[in-house]
Amino acid sequence: MKIKEVIVVEGKDDTVAIKRAVDADTIETNGSAVSESTLAQIALAQERRGVIVLTDPDYPGERIRRIISDRVPECMHAFLPKKEAISKNKDDLGVENATPEAIRQALSHAKQEEIIQTELIDWQDLHAAGLIAGPNAKQRRERLGDLLHIGYANGKQLHKRLQTFRISTNEFREAIQRVFEEEQN
């Protein structure tokens, strides 16, 4: 199976696993400290061929995914279920542990960024933005609802609406930044 897009993985062992599963080129991030030069390579690959991000199903893998999404939002994303990425002795979680069939399956279900970004807005993001508790939480939710055109909601309903209306993390961040700027003035 030939993949036209470049697949972004975390390291050499992941590249080996990808090459066992499909005929594809890879870019390795070399862990969660994604360098500027690697991000530039990913952006160029996206422009010329398209990119599929396939990172480990753990916190560092999600962190890498977010870093890439912020800089190259047009990328597609493929996900391996944890059960498909765990080593035989169950002490390691990663793409390198997946079978070729599991990798092919993940790649065949690659999704566009807008859907992925929506899934990344979680309860902790709302709490960190001061939308759940605190002296100005209600006013912030009200203004955020106006800016995003989803109306006022309590914290729980706001979270649900962000998912329902597929508000991307970029839209959310820009709107909450504007809310904070307005509070300063």
Residues 94 and 11 in one domain: yes
Residues 102 and 76 in one domain: yes
Assigned domain for 40 exists: yes
Residues 107 and 161 in one domain: no
Is the same domain home to 95 and 165? no
**Structural domain boundaries, residue 178:** 121-184
Segment 122-164, tens digit of pLDDT: 888 999 999 998 889 999 998 998 898 887 889 988 998 888 6
pTM: 0.63
- How far apart, in whole angstroms, are the C-alpha atoms of residue 125 and residue 97? 31
Separation CA 23–CA 42 (nearest Å): 18
Cα–Cα dist 61/77, whole Å: 12
Instruction: State residue 39's pLDDT score.
Output: 96
Residues 76 and 24 in one domain: yes
